[in-house]
Amino acid sequence: MNWVFYGATAAVILIFCREWPKLKQKPFRDRATFVAILLVAWVMFYFDLPHTPGPPQLLHALYKPLIRLLLE
């Protein structure tokens, strides 16, 4: 996992370093948007989204005690 972390971080740093000189002439809003999108993408990389439980599993976990009471 360490090499993946370092590789993704290096990619983010490389993208930032290549694009930032072009963005210096742009308004603050464009620079803030670029940084926000880059940070969100970097954080989302670390979530295991295909294996993350979704809404059905959440509802099942919430209502599991209630179902046991109703079926007894």
Q: Residue 70 is encoded by which pair of tokens?
A: 């109703």
- Determine the pLDDT at residue 70: 80
| Mean model confidence pLDDT for the chain | 87
- Determine the pLDDT at residue 1: 61
CA 9 to chain centre: 14
Write out pLDDT tens, residues 48-63: 777 778 888 888 888 8
Which has the higher per-residue pLDDT, 31 or 57? 31
Measuring CA to CA, how many Å separate 37 from each of 4, 9, 41, 44?
20, 14, 6, 10
Please state, in angstroms and rounded to a whole number, the distance separating the CA atoms of residues 6 and 37: 19
* Average pLDDT value for residue range 2-16: 88
